[in-house]
Amino acid sequence: MNMSSFKLVFRSAILLAAATIALATPRDAHAFCGFFVGKADASLVNHTSEVAIARHDDKTVISMSNDYQGAPKDFAMVVPVPVVLQKGQVHVGDPELFHKLEAYSAPRLVEYYDPDPCAAIALSEAAGFARAMSAAPAAPMPQRANALGVKIEAQFSVGEYDIVILSAKQSDGLETWLRENRYKIPPGASVALAPYIRQDMKFFVAKVNLKEHEKSGIEHLRPIQFAFESPKFMLPIRLGMINSSGAQDLIVYLLTRDGRVETTNYRTVKLPTGENVPESVRDDFQGFYKAMFSEQVERNQMHAVFTEYAWNMGWCDPCAAPPLTADELRALGVFWLDEGQRRSPIAPMMYGGAVPVTLTRLHLRYTAATFPEDLVFQETQDIENYQARYVMQHPWSGSANACPAAKNYFVQLRQRKIEEAETLAELTGWNLDSILKKAGLSGGEVTHPWWQKIWQ
């Protein structure tokens, strides 16, 4: 699945972003907090989104990994921002950093091995956009922009991106400006733009020359990064809904100095974790996680933001991938690390303990109806480590006749497998009888407490 990311900063606030979810688990459609506008008749559908936010005090750095569906010769991003950004506040980042963030924080499946019941054996654990567009039309005439109530606040190029910062007095004027400059605006753009104009926000428009991008040999568009100051900590997502073909998923990586991040205007829910699941999950962990997440979304009526990971960046247990180095974190905007804490971009960070960086990974699936407000965040003082983690326990492969304890072990093992099957059905909504059959068990072996049927 492709990756894409946007993230917005509100007038005194945060930026928007789009994202992909690559797990050692599943990926589904993800959200885009701005909208893509394509030239000519290109049909663009916002499909995935991923964003990283580094924040301390009022200083914020947003990194957006961009992608799109469709085949236009070029496209643009439109992102509401709280202030007029200058060239020095915009940077082209390294997409590999998103891959590392994703890998490090991905929900994980861990495995353990039962000890020999006939001997004291310790358990073991396996953990496991080159330049401005040469073919682009000339910059629009300021006179026409002024007539539409649109002002070109700044123009510059960063890497392969051509950037224009706009302000507007009315949303239909801004939409007209974009259309006259040959951008195909999704239906409903004026309505979606209006709240941001009323808040006197500016609009960041970044164009990409895909031909030049193709010449670079880089498969995906490189992330765009913004640095700014704003007292509000939020992520506008409403604008991204106007070109959505349905429910969207958004992954937000939040890097803060002290504690876990949560949303203040929606419930933040930790996903089930530490559950034992059947060995068969190993064959399709992505399918399992996708089903499990969808089940949790449905149970919460698509009104919750889910925590998938919250951990100090100095270490992990178990590690799905190495923690990011201090140099990599600084490249993502973690500006508060001391120079003495810098490390080679090759060697893992090894401080022997906590570092002043906590990574929180939030995941939401939403529609305009279920998430009518932009996301508002707060950093908490919670430093308890959390990860979406699922356990696969391998049975001992010996014989029931090996010793008296072995016979009792196999009786307990059968019951454990039944409980694992019931857990899997509960987490995913899958059919229990099918799970039992796959595990070599029959539904008749499952006995339910007498009171369970009363309220079914």
How far is residue 233's CA from residue 60's CA, in Å, rounded to a whole number?
8
* Count of helix runs (H) and strand runs (E) in the chain: 9, 23
Q: Is residue 7 part of a domain?
A: no
Co-location of 189 and 221 in the same domain: yes
Tell me if residue 360 falls in helix, strand or coil: strand
Are 211 and 247 members of one domain? yes
- Which range has highest mean pLDDT (44-58, 87-101, 122-136, 200-214)? 87-101
Pairwise CA distance, residues 92 & 161, whole Å: 8
With beta carbons less than 8 A apart as the criterion, state whether 154 and 85 touch.
yes
Does the residue 284 lie in any domain? Answer: no
Bridge-based pairing of strands 304-312 and 267-270 is parallel
Most confident of the following: 61-65, 296-300, 410-414: 296-300
Task: Report the phi/psi class of residue 339: left, alpha or beta, with left for phi > 0 and alpha for psi in -120 to 50.
Answer: alpha
Summarised one tens digit per residue, pLDDT across range 147-160 is 889 999 999 888 78
| Residue 376 identity (one-letter amino acid) | V
Residue 314, pLDDT above cutoff 80: yes
pLDDT average, residue stretch 86-106: 91
For 270-290, write each residue's pLDDT tens digit. Answer: 999 999 999 999 888 989 999
pLDDT of residue 69: 54
Q: Is residue 281 part of a domain?
A: no
Kindly report the number of other CB atoms within 10 A of residue 179's CB atom: 13
CB 6 within 8 A of CB 64: yes
Where is the domain boundary, 345, 380, 415?
A: 380
How far apart CA 206 and CA 35 sit, in angstroms, is 11
**What span, in angstroms and rounded, lies between the C-alpha atoms of 207 and 147?**
23
- pLDDT value at position 350? 43
Sheet holding 74-81, edge to edge: 150-158, 161-168, 202-209, 74-81, 35-39, 183-184
Domain assignment of residue 38, yes or no? yes
Regarding whether 405 and 265 lie in a shared domain, the answer is no
pTM, two decimal places: 0.78
Q: Which two tokens mark 168?
A: 């507007």
Domain co-membership, 51 together with 164: yes
Domain presence at residue 340: yes
Task: Provide the residue range defining the domain that includes 433.
Answer: 396-453
Is the domain of 423 the same as that of 374? no
Residues 182 and 216 in one domain: yes
Is residue 63 a part of any domain in this protein?
Answer: yes
Same domain, 214 and 94: yes
What length is written for the chain?
456
Nearest 10 degrees: Cα torsion 340, 342, 347, 353: 60
Residue 97, pLDDT > 50, answer yes
Do 259 and 142 lie in one domain? The reply is: yes
Out of 323, 352, 380, pick the residue that ends a domain: 380
425's enclosing H/E stretch is helix 404-428
Same domain, 230 and 343: yes
Give how far the C-alpha of residue 129 lies from the chain's centroid of Cα atoms, to the nearest Å.
Answer: 20
Structural domain includes residue 417 = yes
Q: Are residues 34 and 173 in the same domain?
A: yes
User: What is the tally of structural domains in the chain?
Assistant: 2
Mean pLDDT computed over 260-268: 97
- Same domain, yes or no: 317 and 372: yes
Q: Mean pLDDT lowest for which of 49-58, 206-215, 242-251, 443-452? A: 443-452
Instruction: Note whether 115 and 121 are within 8 A (CB).
Output: yes
Last residue of a domain, one of 380, 405, 430: 380
Query: Do 74 and 191 lie in a common domain?
Result: yes
pLDDT one-digit tens code per residue, 4-51: 332 332 222 323 333 222 333 333 434 444 554 543 333 344 445 889
Confirm if 46 and 262 have CB atoms less than 8 A apart. no
- Tell me the average pLDDT of the chain: 77
Q: Does 439 reside within a domain? A: yes
Q: Which is more confidently placed, 146 or 133?
A: 146
**Cα–Cα distance measured from residue 189 to residue 176, given in angstroms and rounded to the nearest whole number:** 10
